[in-house]
Chain A
Amino acid sequence: MLPAWLRAAARRVLLAVAAGVAVGVGGVVAFALRDGLRTATEQVFALGALAFGVGLLGWSGSVMAGRGFENMQRYLDTGSDWTESDSRRAMSRVTGFGVGVMVAASVATAGL
């Protein structure tokens, strides 16, 4: 049995991947009608990779420097309620979404 935190994290990422797949398939179909399949795949894949890159960088950046940022904001009295754990969770969703779009772009091309 997986620990609760791992189950929650997996559910979060999988839901984001599913959303990404849905958006990716829709994106390929929409772009393909306008620009042709190859261009559509390339654009949707690149957009997915963009989300994946931002998510991955944001997630690892949060883990790496999040505590420092929290401290800095506290000392500078910015009044922000940004936290490392919130950022990590949000970024894991963005990463999952990006992966979903990338996979969908690849699979949709093969299917169409």
Chain B
Amino acid sequence: MISKRYVLKRLLLLIPVLAGVATLVFSILHLSPGNPARVIAGQRASEAAVREVERQLGLNDPIWVQYGRFLFDLLQFDLGESYIIRRGQPVTSVLRWKFPITLELAVYGQLFGILFGIPVGIISAVKQDTITDHLSRFGALAGISVPIFWSGPLLILLFAVELGWFPTSGRISTDFVVPQLTGILTLDTLLLGQYDAFLSAVHHLLLPSLVIGIYSMALISRMMRSSMLEVIRQDYIRTARAKGQGTKITLMKHGFRNALIPVVTVIGIQFGSLLGGAVLTETVFAIPGIGQLLVDAIRDGDYPLVQGTVLIFAFVFTLVNLLVDLTYSYLDPRIEQ
């Protein structure tokens, strides 16, 4: 049972995390070259027009006033309006429809990492120092080391261009029209009963999920192996084996849950990398999610959109870590102490 005090303590930690991220984004954007008023008014606008935009945006106020106002607006969930990419639209509403796309990709990538990483790690530990173990460790090392901007195009070249098994880009075949309910395409198609569209969406998601999930799988399998090896050497495992219990049952019944504890924390920690990876993956696979939006917003100098996107990334990352912490304390109640 997880105590309310523990949950509250973890929830309160969200405040300094988000305040830190907000301050970082604010200061980086203020230190970066370029005048947002000039960007909004247009490169050919007169000085008077630029001054007017500056006045409207409050850019003439002292910087600490701007900082205070930024934090105050943030407290009211007001992330401002997009300057350029979706001119005039509130950032929150732009993110509302872009974020589920990235979340879907990250979740499928994570799922891929968990579903393959955990069994590979267990097999590697059980078959320690065999060829299987060496191969899985080599694979894990390669998976951790290879960057997405290299593995992405390589997998597209092999599986999409050469073999033709998967589409090269997009989220779904152009034959289907799916009304947006949640924004998560695979969920929407299921909710609407469009099963052909669901299959098409999954087909489009497999390759990007594989690309984004490789790192996750490598790290999880590496952690699972180390953790399982530690558990295997414990006295209670030896006792269970001595009492005549089969190896598989001993490992799965007594070892698996305990070995899973450190792996669960890693799953949470590297979810951040997964979101970061989504930025690259979406660009490589032309998926119109929040990652691609961030790249466009940085390129065009759409500051409110950059701020909002980074904040939403931080919020989700901290939320996932909170969930992981709660799972962790469920698996090992001593953590709350």
Chain A interface residues toward B at CB < 8 A: 41-43, 45-47, 49-50, 52-61, 63-65, 67-69, 71-72, 75-77, 102, 105-106, 109
Given contacts A72-B223, A75-B227, contact A57 B21 (CB under 8 A): yes
Given contacts A68-B266, A75-B262, contact A46 B31 (CB under 8 A): yes
Q: Are the CB atoms of B27 and A50 closer together than 8 Å?
A: yes
Q: Are the CB atoms of A71 and B265 closer together than 8 Å?
A: yes
Q: Are the CB atoms of B27 and A72 closer together than 8 Å?
A: no
Q: Are the CB atoms of A65 and B24 closer together than 8 Å?
A: no
Q: What is the number of contacts between chain A and chain B, taking CB atoms within 8 Å? A: 99
Q: Are the CB atoms of A50 and B24 closer together than 8 Å?
A: yes
Q: B249-284 vs A: 1/0 string, CB under 8 Å?
A: 000000000000010011011000000000000000
Q: Are the CB atoms of A49 and B262 closer together than 8 Å?
A: no
Main secondary structure of the interface of B (DSSP, over half): helix
CA distance A45 to B67 in the complex (A): 10
Q: Are the CB atoms of A68 and B269 closer together than 8 Å?
A: yes
Interface size class of B (residues with CB under 8 A): 35 or more
CA distance A67 to B10 in the complex (A): 14
Residue of B nearest to A44 (CB): B63
Q: Tell me, yes or no, whether B64 is within 8 Å of chain A by CB.
A: yes
Most buried by B among A45, A49, A67, A102: A49
Q: Are the CB atoms of B64 and A59 closer together than 8 Å?
A: no
Q: Are the CB atoms of A56 and B265 closer together than 8 Å?
A: no
Determine which of B23, B63, B328 lies in contact with A42 in the assembled complex, contact meaning CB atoms within 8 Å.
B63
Q: B31-74 vs A: 1/0 string, CB under 8 Å?
A: 10000000000000000000000000000001110010000000
Q: Are the CB atoms of B31 and A43 closer together than 8 Å?
A: yes
Q: How far is the CB of A61 from chain B (nearest CB, A)?
A: 7
Q: Tell me, yes or no, whether B292 is within 8 Å of chain A by CB.
A: no
Residue of B nearest to A77 (CB): B226
